[in-house]
């Protein structure tokens, strides 16, 4: 299986390390032509405005939208923001997931936190320890998108729409490979 990680900005290296642990080679993706051979793409955490502006500069916006019509994409944190349809402010978005997102919903960098979630899609032992860094909240999901995890207070932190996956948190910063395995099963 060929998996790529969008490597314009953010913590793409951590995703590649995680995939390598699972025995999957992963390429750093910066150019539209590199998408052709991929089965799935991860868009990392970082700064969504920067990722969006660089994606425009690198002429990646339309190729990424086309990619997401048939192949798997997983956005973590800034990547999830970039996949969304609406963030209630002006910035470049792919707009391919039917989710509305609020950026920096928990406050500033110092308000980063960890939380235990329940994620039934991960199968047995569906408890999951998640890391949130200046994280967004998925305010709502529409149409074909569905919620796959919430915080105990009900706020949405992960959603799935076909092969498109969005998480507010950062599985690549843990030692728990289940989320990457889950994504590989979507990309297959
Ligand atoms: N706060 C960042 C943004 O709005 C996302 C942070 C992250 O990816 N950890 O783009």
Q: What is the mean pLDDT of residues 97-121?
A: 93
Give the residue, by CA position, lying nearest to ligand 1 atom 5.
78
Q: How far is the CA of 79 from the centre of ligand 1 (A)?
A: 8
Atom of ligand 1 nearest to the CA of 78: 8
Atom of ligand 1 nearest to the CA of 77: 8
Helix, strand, coil percentages in the chain from 3-state DSSP, rounded to 5: 30, 30, 40
Neighbouring residues of 123: CB distance < 8 A, sequence distance ≥ 6:
none
**What's this model's pTM, rounded to 2 decimal places?**
0.97
pLDDT at 37 over 90: yes
Catalytic residue among 15, 77, 102, 180: 77
4 in Cβ contact with 42 (< 8 Å): yes
Tokens matching residue 15: 């995703």
Q: How confident is residue 108, by pLDDT bands cut at 50, 70 and 90?
A: confident
pLDDT at 109 over 90: no
141 in Cβ contact with 159 (< 8 Å): yes
């Amino acid at each position: 299986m060929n998996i790529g990680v969008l490597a314009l900005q953010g913590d793409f290296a951590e995703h590649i390390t995680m995939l390598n642990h699972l025995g999957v080679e992963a390429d750093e993706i910066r150019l539209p032509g590199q998408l052709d051979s991929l089965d799935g793409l991860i868009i990392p955490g970082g700064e969504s405005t920067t990722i969006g502006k660089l994606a425009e500069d690198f002429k990646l916006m339309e190729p990424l939208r086309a990619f997401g019509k048939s192949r798997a994409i997983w956005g973590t944190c800034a990547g999830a923001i970039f996949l969304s349809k609406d963030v209630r402010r002006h910035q470049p978005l792919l707009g391919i997931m039917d989710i509305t997102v609020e950026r920096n919903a928990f406050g500033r960098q110092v308000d980063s936190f960890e939380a235990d979630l329940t994620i039934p899609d991960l199968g047995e032992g569906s408890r999951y320890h998640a890391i949130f860094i200046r994280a967004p909240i998925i305010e709502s999901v529409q149409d074909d998108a569905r919620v796959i995890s919430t915080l105990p207070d009900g706020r949405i932190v992960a959603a799935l729409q076909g092969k498109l996956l969005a998480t507010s948190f950062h599985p690549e910063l843990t030692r728990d490979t289940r989320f990457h395995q889950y994504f590989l099963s979507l990309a297959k």
